[in-house]
Amino acid sequence: MEEPTSTSEGFPPQMPSTTADSLAVNSQRYPIVNYPVSVVLPAAGSGERTGLRTPKQFCSILGRPLISYTIHAFERILWIDTIVVVVPKESHCLMEDIILKYNHTKVKIVDGGSTRHRSIFNGLRAFSEQGTGFNLQKPEVVIIHDAVRPFLEEDFLHKITVCAKDHGVCGAIRPLVSTVVAATTEGKLDHTLERARYRASEMPQGFIYDIIYEAYQKCSEAEFEFGTECLDLALRHCGVSAKLMEGPPTLWKVTYSQDVVSAEAIIKESLSQYAYIIAGQCMETQHLSNLMKNGLTEAGMVVDVVPSTEKIRNLSTSRNFIKLSMCWPNLAEIKEMTSGSEDTKDFALYPVIICWVYLNVSDCVSTQSENDEAPNVMTLAEDVQNRNILLYCVQVCYNKPCTLWERRVKKVCEITAGLIRQRSSSLIGQILQA
């Protein structure tokens, strides 16, 4: 499998694609999508190749099912109307719980079939046939995508959609990374394929709805049972040859257990790129904020320094806060920091990270003070975790003539950057020393 990489546009946490400015830019680069577009997400597989007990689409990544990330990648796009998720009958209630917990509003659930093609056909039928339990608008273009491919770029999806509208069918491809060989029944080499002439078929794939629906209506039982390629059905039964479009490396899908780890790493990296330092009004905290901004910037983060929560321009750009304070964390200030974001749809999707940096202005760290506050900090962290807030506390001794201050600031930056990137629930409420 090609090495997964993250891009600046490749994942929802940055959320640039649904803003008015972004839409204006996209309308200049690409034709406007002013026709109905819907999505079918087949998610009825058992995920045997992962070797995990839980089907891969329901595997937990940072405490959230993988399929929720994929749904959100589509749901955040304004011109996507409906997302039909096809799941096994036994997973119907689980999918309903996911929709409710993560506030997915565009999703309809359809029961899957015994094979991939049967599941996709069930999803397509939800737009056309009576008795499916839905009264959905038939789309002009339908996107078929894998539920285990969460890293979807809006720009590329836009290209696939417009291409499908113009050509009838469009599919994503990627270069082959290995030579393909054919084996005999005895397990010996039969022949090899010229790699330069072949490509790997990927997702998403876009279709004029009537074309792919007709193709599935004409499918044979053998095709339903053994087939996997939707583009081939459109060519075989409707005579429409797909336009092929090379996609970005982010199109890879979660197939094996190690892919779950890779996906988690990409998500963590994407979520940790931006942070706000809330400096407060004290001279000491303001001094530290400027030093920390420089240190975190050198570590690859984009950091804004603001004097108070009220000065944060846009809560959707970052869910990571570094609060500098001369006192220990308290619930009132945490509520103030997260006010406004708790009412947004994304609050349930990605935890808010608060790294509370407490400056001790005495000549040395007060062990007694730390011991007195530790239970309160832990109780507070456990309380706000129920509201999807991860609270970490870092104590640093602030002593102006201290010759080790530069090293101490570097340590604070390393600790806070590590906490934001790792997002470990096991460290919440603990008082770390810098």
What confidence tens digit (pLDDT) does each residue in 228-245 have?
899 999 999 999 999 999
Instruction: For residues 305 and 217, give the distance between their C-alpha atoms in angstroms, rounded to a whole number.
Output: 59
Where are the domain boundaries for CATH 3.90.550.10 in the chain? 12-267
Question: Do 160 and 173 contact (CB within 8 A), yes or no?
Answer: no
Query: What is the rounded average pLDDT for all residues in the chain?
Result: 85
Cis omega before residue 204 (within 30°)? yes
Where are the domain boundaries for CATH 3.40.50.360 in the chain? 272-433
CATH T-level topology, domain 12-267: Spore Coat Polysaccharide Biosynthesis Protein SpsA; Chain A (3.90.550)
Residues near 247 by beta carbon (within 8 Å), at least 6 away in sequence: 156, 172, 173, 174, 202
* Average of per-residue pLDDT across 125-140: 80
- pLDDT band at residue 344 under the 50/70/90 scheme: low
Residue 193 has pLDDT above 60, yes or no: yes
Q: How far is CA 373 from the centre of its chain?
A: 36
pLDDT of amino acid 363: 56
Q: How many beta carbons lie within 10 A of that of residue 255, not counting itself?
A: 15
Residue 48 has pLDDT above 70, yes or no: no
CATH number 2.60.40.3080 is the correct assignment for the domain at 272-433: no
Candidates 292, 275, 202, 270; CA nearest to 242 is 202
| Structure tokens that stand for 235 in this block | 């060519």
pLDDT of amino acid 3: 44
Instruction: For residues 124 and 117, give the distance between their C-alpha atoms in angstroms, rounded to a whole number.
Output: 11
pLDDT of amino acid 324: 95
Question: Do 197 and 131 contact (CB within 8 A), yes or no?
Answer: no
Candidates 338, 373, 332, 333; CA nearest to 353 is 338
* Average of per-residue pLDDT across 6-33: 47
